Amino acid sequence: MYIVTGGAGFIGSAMVWKLNQMGIDDILVVDNLSTSEKWNNLVGLRYSDYLHRDQFYKLILEGDDPFETDAVIHMGACSSTTELDADFLMENNYRYTLYTCRHCLNHGARFINASSAATYGDGEYGFDDDEAGIEKLRPLNMYGYSKQLFDLWAKENELFDRIVSLKFFNVYGPNEFHKDDMRSVICKAYKQISETGQLKLFKSYRDEYAHGGQKRDFVYIKDVVNIMGWLLENPDVGGIYNVGTGTSRTWNDLGNAVFSAMDREPNIDYIEMPESIRDKYQYYTEAKMDKLIAAGCDVKLTSLEDGAADYVKNYLAQDNSYLRTR
């Protein structure tokens, strides 16, 4: 039995798809569907059962393991970088992760956790995924801090030889339509360009970056789940690992890749960034991937141009933005 928390979400549902590709369908999907459109991500995937997040949380707090779990891929969290309810993030992101990890350790199950590149803050201390330096990192928002807290707890308890915590950079690809404003810019760009012929990007407020020249590490969802699949097949690998491409690209590069995939000439307009996020905006991120490569991971990473082309042509343009196995 494999358990995927947040299993109807973006990365979680893509991981269910990946498990299906690996021939695995004994999967428990844990999530909180409520009135959202996340259920669409599960259509066409093979899994044995669904359990509401609160019921799952209650079971692990009671200490039993009725599932005889082999692994928990813990993607369940609030991923909004603008969420202001700190108590909610403490419970939903930090405490929930801590107890799920303890449950896995107590029952001999593999634990793969979703951390975040948001833990790196403004990048003042670089993007090195060495556990030794995580105390000095200063996230810029409460979301990043809630992820950082678990990594600090795991280090304090010397758990990184037994678990994995993954710092995802800017992930894009199928299965993200339900995320509303937290969808990737590629997804938003396709809609903007289709409707207006133009893409709007934020202006820069730093002299060293041109408008649209802010840089991020954009990683395709298929690469992300391939890395997690590799980690399941290599249970002796533990620690904090970055999940990106190792190559930082500008927002202009991303926009041009989408225009190219749509067979259109670039037409980019630069707009004011809301004042509420200007002081918390990451101008540069780039995943250091040396550590994961040194661990033996040989997953081939997709370029921004190739990833955008696959996403746009085979999903967005087909009005079929979901990964299916059936």
Q: What pTM, to 2 d.p., does this model score?
A: 0.94
Tell which residue, 144, 125, 130, 69, has the closest CA to residue 101: 69
Name 118's Cβ contacts closer than 8 Å, sequence gap at least 6. Answer: 81, 139, 140, 141, 143, 144, 147, 282
| Tens-digit pLDDT profile for residues 14-33 | 999 999 999 999 999 999 99
CATH code of the domain covering residue 39 = 3.40.50.720
In a domain, 260, yes or no: no
| Tens-digit pLDDT profile for residues 221-267 | 999 999 999 999 999 999 999 999 999 999 999 999 999 999 999 99
In a domain, 199, yes or no: no
* Cα–Cα dist 318/324, whole Å: 14
81-93 core/surface letters (b: 16 or more CB in 10 A; e: else): bebeeeeebeebb
In a domain, 22, yes or no: yes
In a domain, 45, yes or no: yes
In a domain, 61, yes or no: yes
In a domain, 179, yes or no: no
In a domain, 265, yes or no: no
Known catalytic residues? 143, 179
Q: Determine the structural domain holding residue 55 and report its residue range.
A: 2-172+219-247+283-302
Alpha helices in the chain (DSSP H): 10-21, 53-62, 86-89, 96-107, 142-156, 185-196, 221-233, 251-261, 275-278, 290-294, 304-314
How many structural domains are present in the chain? Answer: 1
In a domain, 182, yes or no: no
Name 35's Cβ contacts closer than 8 Å, sequence gap at least 6. Answer: none
CB half-sphere exposure, 319, CA atoms < 13 A: 1
